[in-house]
Amino acid sequence: MNKILKKLFGDFKVEWKKISEIALVSGAGVDKKIIKGEKKIKLLNYMDVYRNPYLNINIPNMEVTAKDIKIKQCNILKGDIFITPSSEVKNEIGFSAMAIEDMLGVVYSYHIMRIRLNEYNLIQSMFINYLFRSDALQKQINKQAKGLTRFGLTKTQWENILIPIPPLKVQKKIVEILDNFTELTAELTAELSLRKKQYEFYRDKLLTFSNDEVEWKKLGEVGEFVRGNGLPKKDFTENGVPAIHYGQIYTYYGLSTTKTISFVSFETAKKLKKVNKGDVIITNTSENFEDVGKALVYLGEEQAVTGGHATIFKPSNQILEKYFAYFTQTNTFTKEKRKYAKGTKVIDVSATDMAKIKIPIPPIEKQKEIVSILDKFDTLTNSISEGLPKEIELREKQYEYYRDILLSFPKENNE
């Protein structure tokens, strides 16, 4: 790719500059509070940046309040780049997202940082956004990250990060090439989105019952709830006892899993709640309402553990674990959990309240039939080994490969 760029533009010089030389870095975000007398406004938060390379006014869903002066100070303009300055794990530091439009009526959280170019240039913003996601810059960030329970860089360190600045015409070509890759992925993602809507329609249809059609029971009547404890990410080890962190349920896992991506030592595992095959781990806590009550069915042969902000549901013989997990995705369940959700800054539904939620309990044979149909849809829409998601995964790997080649500039170029 570098040969192609040289063929197009000849030899070109790459300047290495500190971020502070080309942009203003600001961490003066808004707190997640609702204060009487202040204006209501949407909040762009950590997870919004973590999940989306591009930002628009429709992405933030959290509402907070802020004073006029703070709203003005923390505004979001087209071309602004946002980064995640710290995390419990190093490889989640420095995730970036760029605003593709002015986001009036939205402010950003103090958990993220805004990078605003001194001289507005959309191409350069797009180039830098791609750059933050490159392997070369991620290595530089991880090398400087410090911390014990949470890793990160100070504002001064972010300002001193060195980035390559090739001529604008080269930046434009790189953005063009990478945009083509992301466009291919976007087309596949749009197709997947349509499939998901189709799946959601049939899921809700299959899981909608009238009161006289089935018996409705509280979850506490058809299973046991065990609240988790402990398990910060710093306790993770390379191998050992399988472990499921609550945050991974809404960022990594699908409906079920036979293996975990994390482990803890045998000593740590002794202190944690145990998860057996057929148990369902449910998230109790999140910064947004949608991620509370997400369910993961554990189907591994080896006993696992989970920690705080998660509850283990151990179903009785009246209910299939997958039937329950599918039901937690429905609008009916969403309405039920809303009755018990507490908090503004952090949303929580306790294990005690979760046990009060009512759920329809058809005969086991009917549950098996529903699960069989939904499993087929789930494979098509959510599996990483079949269907569209696999194709998207391969396209993303291809994009990442070329992105890292295109954005690896030797420092000798500066001499």
* Residue 414: per-residue pLDDT: 42
| CA atoms of 106 and 175, how far apart (whole Å) | 27
Tell me, what's the pLDDT at 157?
94
The verdict on 154 and 221 lying in the same domain is no
For 153, which DSSP code? -
Given a contact cutoff of 8 angstroms between Cβ atoms, the answer to whether 82 and 27 are in contact is no
Is residue 3, in this structure, part of any structural domain at all?
A: no
User: Is 47 found in the same domain as 154?
Assistant: yes
223 and 307 in a single domain? The answer is yes
> 54 forms bridges with which residues in the sheet?
98
Q: How far apart are the first and last CA of the chain?
A: 21
Provide φ and ψ at 412, rounded to 5°: -60, -25
Domain assignment present for 28: yes
Give, for 235, the enclosing helix (H) or strand (E).
none
User: Cα separation of 387 and 255, whole Å?
Assistant: 16
Q: How far is CA 108 from the centre of its chain?
A: 17
Of 346, 361, 376, at which residue does a domain stop?
361
How do residues 140-180 score in pLDDT, each as one tens digit? 898 898 888 788 999 999 999 999 999 999 999 999 989 98
pLDDT of residue 148: 80
Per-residue confidence (pLDDT) for residue 412, from 0 to 100: 55
pLDDT in tens, 30-63: 998 889 889 999 999 998 998 888 999 999 988 9
pLDDT tens digit string along 269-300?
999 999 999 999 999 988 788 889 999 999 99
383 found inside a domain: no
Q: Per residue in 248-258, pLDDT tens?
A: 998 889 899 99
- The CATH number of whichever domain residue 35 belongs to comes to 3.90.220.20
Domain tally, the chain: 2
Listed residue (315, 360, 323) closest to 215, CA to CA:
360
Kindly state whether residues 157 and 279 are assigned to the same domain. Answer: no
* Confidence at 356, pLDDT banded by 50, 70, 90: very high
Has residue 1 got a pLDDT over 70? no
Residue 354 covered by a domain: yes
Q: Are residues 153 and 231 in the same domain?
A: no
Specify whether 243 is located in the same domain as 326. yes
User: What range defines the domain where residue 112 resides?
Assistant: 13-164
pTM: 0.63
What is the mean pLDDT of the segment spanning 394-399?
Answer: 88
Same domain, 125 and 237: no
Average pLDDT, the chain: 90
Q: 347: Cβ–Cβ under 8 A, 6 or more apart, which residues?
A: 285, 286, 287, 288, 289, 292, 341
Q: Are residues 221 and 279 in the same domain?
A: yes
Collapsing DSSP states into helix, strand and coil, what is residue 42? strand
50: enclosing H helix or E strand = helix 46-51
Residue 132 in any domain: the answer is yes
